[in-house]
């Protein structure tokens, strides 16, 4: 076990971990500086933007990369070029098709046209970085992944932190411009790749009407047959974890920056457990035929580390609350709800992955879609005080955990008949 740990803890992987944790830290840092500088308007805009972006960005992705990656990373040379061209065209087609959907769904978060425009623009930025970073993760080029992530998440946030106390205008516009500028700077760093992608994009967009219709028909057929349930399940799965923020944005608009600030602190539990346990364990969840969903959840290595991360998060949250006047009004009860929410999220990472590889996406979509609706309806109907909202969503995560085990057991039982 120790030898395996030493093999994983290479300088590249450690750089990846440090940069990933830094990326988690910059969002609460932006909100903290905005609050201390009495820029609550920007803090609310920023909290809305990053939350809505996390929930809506997943619509731009599906599994268009799988056929190409199978050839690229399995040593198959046949059809390499054709597989990449199909992957690129399908990815571009899907992105263009979902942009109007993203803009429409952004209205669920806010009616502010400036924030909505920022969401739509930054979905494109996130999409490019996501595709680039996926390649680096598959090839285990963690230094390159870290550079890409720094331009994606860390650099724009640090720049806006420096500007918050001095800029008098609408800062969310500046943040969006900084994110676009960061993408452009990254493009200068990878000029050859950017030029290649630009040529491919212009070439695809410049095709005649007949070719475009054929491409759309081909993609629509593939989406219905291969991608639809996976994409919709991913959207529902992510938004189970964000429905609390969506309802806070609608019920307590002026307090969302406080809610998102402390949510990001407790998200350390989920991120740290994912990096140090879930990612190394993930291949075994796919291969191990003797594993069970409950068995994976109740492994000591899956249960005890999140409790340690939770203790650290709780200490940070309490220290900030009692040492920073802008957060004195936040109820400590909120911390208990957020702690439970992110603890359940962390320990169920392995359970979700186990079920994902063994169960129809349609069944998971029905489960998660129903839970998103039920959780949102319960919060909207009850309209509880803000500190009680994460307790309702924690109950939803617990129901989901139990439901996934039942779905997995029933699927295994049918396969043995």
Rounded to an integer, what distance in angstroms lies between the CA atom of residue 165 and that of residue 160? 9
Among 229, 264, 280, the domain boundary falls at 229
* Residues 146 and 262 occupy one common structural domain: no
**Residue 168 belongs to some domain of the structure:** yes
Question: Does residue 411 have a pLDDT over 80?
Answer: no
* Residues 209 and 251 occupy one common structural domain: no
* Residues 313 and 369 occupy one common structural domain: yes
CA-to-CA dists, residue 410 to 35, 288, 291, 403, 415, angstroms: 50, 18, 15, 11, 9
392 neighbors 378 (Cβ within 8 angstroms): yes
Rounded to an integer, what distance in angstroms lies between the CA atom of residue 380 and that of residue 389? 10
Rounded to an integer, what distance in angstroms lies between the CA atom of residue 290 and that of residue 415? 14
pLDDT-based confidence at residue 279 (cuts at 50, 70, 90): confident
247 neighbors 378 (Cβ within 8 angstroms): no
* Residues 23 and 78 occupy one common structural domain: yes
Q: Which tokens in the block code for residue 83?
A: 């597989």
Q: Which tokens in the block code for residue 93?
A: 């087609």
* Residues 136 and 41 occupy one common structural domain: yes
* Residues 141 and 256 occupy one common structural domain: no
**Residue 205 belongs to some domain of the structure:** yes
Instruction: Please give the pLDDT value at position 414.
Output: 57
**Residue 236 belongs to some domain of the structure:** no
**Residue 6 belongs to some domain of the structure:** no
Rounded to an integer, what distance in angstroms lies between the CA atom of residue 110 and that of residue 117? 11
Rounded to an integer, what distance in angstroms lies between the CA atom of residue 70 and that of residue 61? 17
Instruction: Please give the pLDDT value at position 348.
Output: 95
**Residue 88 belongs to some domain of the structure:** yes
Find the domain containing 217 and state its range: 11-229
pLDDT-based confidence at residue 170 (cuts at 50, 70, 90): very high
* Residues 42 and 112 occupy one common structural domain: yes
Question: Does residue 220 have a pLDDT over 90?
Answer: no
pLDDT-based confidence at residue 79 (cuts at 50, 70, 90): low
* Residues 256 and 178 occupy one common structural domain: no
Question: Does residue 325 have a pLDDT over 80?
Answer: yes
The single residue listed with the structure tokens 């900084």 is 178
**Residue 235 belongs to some domain of the structure:** no
- Count of other CB atoms within 10 angstroms of residue 93: 20
Rounded to an integer, what distance in angstroms lies between the CA atom of residue 30 and that of residue 28? 5
* Residues 28 and 83 occupy one common structural domain: yes
Among 229, 258, 275, the domain boundary falls at 229
- Domain tally for the chain? 2
* Residues 135 and 213 occupy one common structural domain: yes
With a CB cutoff of 8 Å and minimum separation 6, the contacts of 73 are 138, 139
**Residue 4 belongs to some domain of the structure:** no
pLDDT in tens, 292-324: 878 889 999 999 999 999 999 999 999 999 999
**Residue 40 belongs to some domain of the structure:** yes
Q: What percent of the chain shows pLDDT beyond 70?
A: 93
pLDDT-based confidence at residue 69 (cuts at 50, 70, 90): confident
**Mean of pLDDT values over 100-106:** 95
* Residues 279 and 411 occupy one common structural domain: yes
Among 176, 198, 229, the domain boundary falls at 229
* Residues 403 and 283 occupy one common structural domain: yes
């Amino acid at each position: 076990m120790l030898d395996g740990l030493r093999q994983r803890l290479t300088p590249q992987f450690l750089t990846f971990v440090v940069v990933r944790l830094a990326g988690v830290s910059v969002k609460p840092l932006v909100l903290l500086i905005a609050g201390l500088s009495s820029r609550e308007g920007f803090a609310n805009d920023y909290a809305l933007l990053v939350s809505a972006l996390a929930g809506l960005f997943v619509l731009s992705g599906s599994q268009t990369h799988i056929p190409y990656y199978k050839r690229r990373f399995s040593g198959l040379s046949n059809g390499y070029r054709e597989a990449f061209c199909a992957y690129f065209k399908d990815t571009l087609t899907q992105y263009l098709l979902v942009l109007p959907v993203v803009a429409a769904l952004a209205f669920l978060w806010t009616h502010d046209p400036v924030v909505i425009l920022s969401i739509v623009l930054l979905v494109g930025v996130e999409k490019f970085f996501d595709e680039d970073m996926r390649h680096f993760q598959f090839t285990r080029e963690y230094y390159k992944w870290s550079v890409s992530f720094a331009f994606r998440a860390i650099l724009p946030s640090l720049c806006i932190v420096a500007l918050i106390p001095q800029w008098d205008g609408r800062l969310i516009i500046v943040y969006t411009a900084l994110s676009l500028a960061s993408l452009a700077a990254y493009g200068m760093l990878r000029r050859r790749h950017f030029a290649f992608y630009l040529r491919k994009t212009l070439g695809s967009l410049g095709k005649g009407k007949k070719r475009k219709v054929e491409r759309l028909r081909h993609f629509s057929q593939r989406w219905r047959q291969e991608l639809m349930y996976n994409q919709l399940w991913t959207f529902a799965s992510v938004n189970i974890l964000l429905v609390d923020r969506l309802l806070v944005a609608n019920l307590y608009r002026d307090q969302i920056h406080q809610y998102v600030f402390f949510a990001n602190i407790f998200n350390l539990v989920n991120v740290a457990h994912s990096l140090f346990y879930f990612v190394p364990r993930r291949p075994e969840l796919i291969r191990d035929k003797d594993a069970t969903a409950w068995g994976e959840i109740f492994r000591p290595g899956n249960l005890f580390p999140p409790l340690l991360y939770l203790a650290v998060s709780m200490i940070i949250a309490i220290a900030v609350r009692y040492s920073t006047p802008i957060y004195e009004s936040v109820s400590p009860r909120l911390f208990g709800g957020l702690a439970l929410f992110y603890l359940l999220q962390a320990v169920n990472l392995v359970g979700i992955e186990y079920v994902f590889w063994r169960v129809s996406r349609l069944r998971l979509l029905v489960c998660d879609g129903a839970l998103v609706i039920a959780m949102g309806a319960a919060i909207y109907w009850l309209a509880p005080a803000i500190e009680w909202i994460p307790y309702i969503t924690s109950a939803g995560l617990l129901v989901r955990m139990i439901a996934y085990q039942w779905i997995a057991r029933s699927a295994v039982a049918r396969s043995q008949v």
